[in-house]
Amino acid sequence: RNSIGGFIALLGAVGIVGGAATGGTNGRYLVAGGAFLALIGIIILIPLLSRPVIALVRPAISKLFGVSGKLASQNAVRNPRRTGATASALAIGLTLVTGISVLGVTLGQAIDKMTTDNIKADYMVSMASGDSLDQSALTALSKADGVSALSPQQATSLQVDGEYHSASGVTPGDVEKVFSLDTVSGSLATLKDGQVAVGSKTAKSNGWKTGDTLPVEFDDEKKGEVTIG
């Protein structure tokens, strides 16, 4: 058992060192796998390691906690397997808590990055209820000191040839000032009523190009046409 635990822990250490040296995505996978193997190996080795570790810290425990500390250290040495089981449970619990915390922070940072990478605006204003801002609020914002660009967004969906596509209504002249958007063809600044800008992937998959007129059905089931501008 101890040999197996030592071998697994060694594999984990090699994975961690190799991943750190490799770097990049593959390196992160190696480090994660190595850390997992190292944890498993240490858990297997805890009964073996408990005696020397307790012997090392026993003087300090006895000095700090007196008779209680001395009895606790003697009890731990008396049954290494029981000590190992208790320590293993604590190690697994701490590992899970730490892993979930790291995952939560990482996901939060990734979402923040995805949200802010394409935004030039200093502020985004929205209703807590998710409803659209009232026109009076938009007017007040446009007149506020220091506001040089304002592009309200109205989320909706369009049905084209039976397929639904999400869409947002924007202010053509200001949208490029508040969002970082790369234009492949046409111009966002010159969009007019009845014109839409389409993502390059969507346009390519549907065979659309600038100037095409598309028959659409709106959320209120009214039908019309829009032109790719």
Domain ranges of the chain: 2-116, 151-228
Locate 36 and state its tokens: 């997992």
Rounded Cα–Cα distance for residues 44 and 85 (Å): 9
Amino acid, res. 55? A
User: Residues 12-43: pLDDT tens digits?
Assistant: 888 888 888 887 777 778 888 888 888 888 88
User: Residues 205-229: pLDDT tens digits?
Assistant: 888 888 888 888 887 788 888 888 7
pLDDT for res 114 = 67
Contact predicate 9/36, CB 8 Å: no
Confidence grade of residue 176 (pLDDT, cut at 50, 70, 90): confident
User: Residues 103-140: pLDDT tens digits?
Assistant: 888 787 777 776 666 777 778 787 777 677 788 888 88
Strands 223-228 and 154-160: unpaired
pLDDT for res 184 = 79
Question: What are the strands, taking DSSP E only, across 162-212?
Answer: 163-169, 195-196
Over 80: is that where the pLDDT of 194 sits? yes
Task: Tell me the Cα Rg of the chain.
Answer: 31
Over residues 83-96, mean pLDDT: 78
Over residues 186-209, mean pLDDT: 83
Over 80: is that where the pLDDT of 196 sits? yes
Locate 155 and state its tokens: 């989320």
Closest C-alpha to 196, from 210, 182, 217: 210
Q: Crossing angle of helices 80-116/24-78, nearest 10°?
A: 150
